[in-house]
A and B are shown apart, each in its own frame.
Chain A
Amino acid sequence: MYLLELLRGAWLIYRMHLGTVVGSRRTIAALVLAAVPVVIAALAAHFGPDEIEGETFFVNIGLVLALGFSVPLLSVSLGVGVVASEAEGRTITYPFTRPIPRASLFLGRWLASLTLLAFLVGSCVLGMAMAANVRSTVPEEYVFQCLVACLMGVTVYSLGSAVIGTLFKRGLVIALGYAFAIEVLLSILPGSGRKLTLQHYLRSIFLDGREGRFGIDENIATTLLIPADDAMVRLWVTAGVLLVLGAYTVTRKQFVLSS
């Protein structure tokens, strides 16, 4: 019963905010951000050294630009605001004094952001694939796996950012710090620290046992990646935990609005 109400509320919120998400200035900025790696990929594909194959090019650029840059940056910048923007805009009173479960605000607004993110990242990956095709055709399964990894990436990153944004006042700084400082640090350090990073699992999904074949940056190649299926399971579990955490936080937290 509660679940049904939750889903109904989430759907309503989703419908309300999809419009906001699509039309807002933040989205335009995100669009520009998403376009930058594609442009760089296209330029690199045209002007880069000739001896690199299309698939090698795609895998490298996918790892560095798509998974390493676009996915975390877009997810964090759009994800932190899921609940926080309503609290900062002091509009959160409106959904919270209506007969819908509080958690549906989190769920609905996150789904709205996710829709946009999926669209952005999806077109980003396809654009890169097209850029790589200039050199030589990239096998479809590479593109597909990159897409899967990226979608998983935006799901987990945006959920995590949404939770951080809900919990903390300076969510954006914390989430950016996590994605670009802590994760990078952990993956550079030797030891099992990298198993705590999302990048590790996303790379595992993308490469799926093919690491070391593309002359990739040594750091990544020597990383002991795990099979894609295992990585998928772990990411889903993480996402589930984050989702429950976010929903619970929103249900319990009091938002003190400045007047």
Chain B
Amino acid sequence: MSAIVEAEALGRWYGEVVGLGDLTVSIEPGITGLVGPNGAGKSTFMKLMVGELRPHRGSITVLGHRPFGSRPLYRRLGFCPQQDALYEHQSGRAFVRDIMRLAGFPRKEADRRAVAAMERVGLAEAMDRKVSDYSKGMRQRTRLAQAVAHDPEIIVADEPLTGLDPIARRQTLELFRALANDGKSVILSSHVLHEVESLTDTMVLIHRGRLLAQGNVRDVRRLINKHPSRVHLKARDPRGLASRLLDEPYVNAVSLSGDGEGLLVETLDVGTFHQRFAAVAGEADAGVRSLVSDDASLEAVFDYLVG
């Protein structure tokens, strides 16, 4: 699959403040989570992606276009900005309709799309009310509606889940999944890592304006050798299982937890562990109840890498 976003030694400053230092990354189709601590440069990267800013060094192409002011690209891209700004005087529907007019649709078609998009983000009932009366979550969803209404190939969404209540969060996540199922690409940033993880395994981790990691979360976890992988087990007979596991060469350490049925395994070769565990547990007859690797999550990877 060819990359949809290619950044090469990308840098952007705000005066003396660095937004993005030196970023080389290529993003492939599908859902990609853009994560990183505050001030890492996620928003700057997204702004460069949609051509709100121009790079100071390096280059960026999206679908083969240089984004700044590129009209062909804007037909294929939708952007949901982070800042809570809308044209306050109009209704959500009118807002999306006007934006769709700018996207090149005739009047009726624009209105049809606006209505469809507002329904899609769950604002069907509120769409004829003024934007200024909306709650924070509704405004966020209105911004999302204008980003998806024209059926773009790529949706870039900067923190699209902030301010949403759990119900709206769920709806929005479903919307992203549905978009991905339709073959669209979604690039989204969020601080809430487990939500990103529920959407996708592919992530781009930016830290201090540079690329820190990219790819599938589990693969990335396996690349981190500094910290042995930790797997939590629960069994009827944890001691038996523990002694059996200690015989395996890839297991570095096993410790028992206080409650008498938990077991913590540390291994530097988690791939083999998973591969062999079924056989080991089958032999041991220890009554395995659960097996959870608690540091294979995006959050754990994030912590190990960002520190």
Contacts and interface: CB of A to CB of B under 8 A. Distances in A.
Interface string B52-92: 11100000000000001101101101110111011101100
Contact of B53 (A20, A23, A254): A254
A255 interface: yes
Interface in A1-58: 5, 9, 12-13, 15-16, 19-20, 23-24
A94 B146 contact: yes
Which residue, of B89, B102, B146, has the highest number of chain A Cβ atoms within 10 A?
B102
Interface in A91-121: 91, 93-102
A251 interface: yes
Contacts of A94: 99, 102, 146
A259 interface: yes
B99 A19 contact: no
B18 to A, nearest CB: 14
A20 B94 CA distance: 12
A90 interface: yes
B43 interface: yes
Contacts of A102: 69
A257 B74 contact: no
Given A9-B102, A12-B102, A98 B74 contact: yes
A256 interface: yes
A96 B51 contact: yes
A89 interface: yes
Contacts, number: 72
Nearest to B84: A90
Contacts of A254: 52-54, 68
B103 interface: yes
B52 A96 contact: yes
B101 A16 contact: yes
B87 A91 contact: yes
Contact of B103 (A16, A96, A99, A257): A99
A155 to B, nearest CB: 26
Contact of B74 (A12, A90, A99): A99
A235 B13 CA distance: 40
A98 B85 contact: no
B119 interface: no
A99 B75 contact: yes
Given A251-B69, A254-B54, A259-B83, A98 B102 contact: yes
Contacts of A98: 74, 99, 102-103
Interface of B: 14, 43, 50-54, 68-69, 71-72, 74-75, 77-79, 81-83, 85-87, 89-90, 98-99, 101-104, 146
Given A12-B101, A91-B87, 13 more contacts: A5-B71, A9-B102, A16-B101, A19-B90, A20-B89, A90-B81, A90-B83, A91-B86, A96-B52, A98-B103, A99-B102, A101-B71, A257-B52
